[in-house]
Amino acid sequence: MHCHWKLNLCGRSAAANPISWWYYAMISITEKEFTQLSRMIEKSFGIYLKIEKKSLVMSRLQNILLEKGFKSYSQYYQYLINDKTGAAQVELVNRITTNHTFFLREKEHFDYFSGTVLPDLKRNAKGGTVRIWSAGCSTGEEPYTLAMVIKDYLKEGGLNYRILATDISKKALSKAVLGVYPDESVSNIPLMWKMNYFTKTAEGLYKVSDEIKSAVLFRRLNLMDEFPFKRKFHTIFCRNVMIYFRSDTRARLLKKIYDVLEDGGYLFIGKSESILKNETGFKHVLPSVYRKD
Ligand SMILES: C[S@@+](CC[C@H](N)C(=O)[O-])C[C@H]1O[C@@H](n2cnc3c(N)ncnc32)[C@H](O)[C@@H]1O
Q: What is the pLDDT along the chain (293 residues), one digit of tens a residue?
A: 344 444 443 334 434 444 443 445 789 999 999 999 999 999 999 999 999 999 999 999 999 999 999 999 999 999 999 999 999 999 999 999 999 999 999 999 999 999 999 999 988 877 789 999 999 999 999 999 999 999 999 875 678 899 999 999 999 999 999 999 999 999 999 999 999 999 999 999 999 999 999 999 999 999 999 999 999 999 999 999 999 999 999 999 999 999 999 999 999 999 999 898 777 889 999 999 999 98
Strand bridging mode 216-220 / 198-200: unpaired
Length of the chain measured in residues? 293
Closest CA to 60 of 35, 13, 27: 27
| CATH for 5-96, options being 1.10.155.10, 2.40.50.140, 4.10.95.10, 3.40.50.300 | 1.10.155.10
33 lines ligand 1 (CB under 6 A): no
Q: Domain residues of the chain, as ranges? A: 5-96, 107-292
**CA separation for the pair 18, 190 (Å, rounded):** 41
Please tell me what DSSP assigns to residue 125: H
Please tell me what DSSP assigns to residue 114: I
CA angle 63, 68, 72 (to 5 degrees): 80
Closest CA to 142 of 270, 273, 284: 270
Left (φ > 0), alpha (ψ -120 to 50) or beta: where does 129 sit? beta
Q: Which CATH architecture has domain 107-292?
A: 3-Layer(aba) Sandwich (3.40)
**Burial, 248: exposed, middle or buried (Cβ in 10 Å; 0-12, 13-18, 19+)?**
exposed
Residue 22 CA to ligand 1 center (angstroms) comes to: 33
Main-chain phi, psi angles of 148, to 5 degrees: -70, -40
Contact 122, 158 (CB under 8 A): no
* DSSP H helices in 187-290: 191-197, 210-213, 247-259
User: Could you tell me the end-to-end alpha-carbon distance of the chain, in angstroms, rounded to an integer?
Assistant: 60
**CA separation for the pair 151, 170 (Å, rounded):** 27
232: β partners: none
* Residue with CA nearest ligand 1 atom 10: 241
116 lines ligand 1 (CB under 6 A): no
* Residue with CA nearest ligand 1 atom 3: 240
Residue 3 CA to ligand 1 center (angstroms) comes to: 35
Longest C-alpha distance within the chain, in Å?
A: 71
Contact 206, 194 (CB under 8 A): yes
Helix H or strand E encompassing 57: helix 54-68
Residue 69 CA to ligand 1 center (angstroms) comes to: 30
